[in-house]
Amino acid sequence: MSPTVDVVIPVYGGWEHTERCLASLAAQTLPHRTIVVDNASPDDTVAHLRAQFPDAGVIEMGENAGFARAVNAGVAASEGELVVLLNNDVTCEPDLLERLAGAFADARVGSAAALLLRPGGEQIDAFGIATDATLACFVRLQAQPPEAVARLDGVPELLGPHGAAAAYRRSALSAVGGFDERLFMYAEDLDLALRLRAAGWESVALADARGVHEGAATVGKQSAAQRERGGFGRGYVLRRYGVLRGRAGLRALVTELVVVAGDLAISRDAAALRGRLAGWRAARGLPRRRAPQAARDSAIGFRESLRLRRRSYAIDR
């Protein structure tokens, strides 16, 4: 028998995206329950939800509580053996949930990643995430054609699912404490993937579980808000995992100096730096987390990491 499945969708406005996402879920081949967590949307999302999708559960946070906190609230209100997390700007192929659920027949699997395509289907948006020695997060196969999946051969190595379309075993989420609510937005999927790997859970990526991801529908591509939130996650991870004290500390420091300087030169603001400093301060005094060496992809060297960052920045502008 297939495991029971709950889908959790955090939203902050963007009803047109949410409507398409829910319509695609209504066509799924696997029975499931849907829970939409509203972060005090500035539009009439909740009214539309109740009128057009009365079977969907709705949680009203009453404020913009952030991605991680909203997801945790949705997970707490759900009961399924599996929890599938979707961004509201993802539309799913009809068998996406069924394909993802099939991966959990292996008791060692704690999470599963879908293959997300960009609008038009000619480029990959994400096929899970990977990390280098400094715990910098990279989206696998970003902007490559879908055929690249057949040539992947494990490089870059999968760490865990991309947060826009991720399936988790409930017992695995419970064992590691769910998403870290200090991370308002960005790096929360990286942090969770590292903790799941440290706890012994495996992750798989499924090329036949497909969806289309609009991308950055909430805060805007390369907006100051997006870059500051991303910087916060980076600063938090660097301190929480003791990266600067480890073997990759010098490399991490040099990389961050290059990235922040480049962002300052291009964007003419200090959003990336402000975010990193705030994230670093937020991790002060917290217990150190462990990132297993096996979770890091040794194939992503210093130059490759800079190349991947430049490519990601250029794609999102």
Q: What pLDDT, in 10s, does the model give residues 106-132?
A: 999 999 999 999 999 999 999 999 999
Q: Residue 310 — pLDDT band, cuts 50, 70, 90?
A: confident
Cβ-Cβ contacts under 8 Å for 211 (sequence gap 6 or more): 24, 86, 90, 91, 92, 93, 96, 114, 115, 116, 117, 165
Same-domain status, 96 and 30: yes
Same-domain status, 96 and 157: yes
Mean pLDDT taken over the chain: 94
Q: Is the pLDDT of residue 246 over 90?
A: yes
Q: What is the pLDDT of residues 5-54, one digit of tens each?
A: 999 999 999 999 999 999 999 999 999 999 999 999 999 999 999 999 99
Same-domain status, 45 and 178: yes
Give me the pLDDT at residue 4, please.
Answer: 97
Is residue 218 in a domain?
no
Give me the pLDDT at residue 216, please.
Answer: 62
Domain that holds residue 291: 224-316
CA distance 81 to 168: 9
Q: Which two tokens stand for residue 266?
A: 């291009």
306 versus 234: the higher-pLDDT residue is 234
Q: Residue 313 — pLDDT band, cuts 50, 70, 90?
A: low
Phi–psi pair at 315, nearest 5 degrees: -65, -40
Is residue 281 in a domain?
yes
Instruction: Identify the CATH number of the domain in which residue 37 sits.
Output: 3.90.550.10
Q: Is the pLDDT of residue 278 over 90?
A: yes
Same-domain status, 208 and 265: no
Is residue 191 in a domain?
yes
Say what percent of the chain tops pLDDT 70. 96
- Number of structural domains the chain divides into: 2
CA distance 28 to 94: 4
What is the rounded average pLDDT of the residues 71-76? 97
Q: Is the pLDDT of residue 1 over 80?
A: no
Is residue 229 in a domain?
yes
Contact 214, 108 (CB under 8 A): no
Q: Is the pLDDT of residue 222 over 80?
A: no
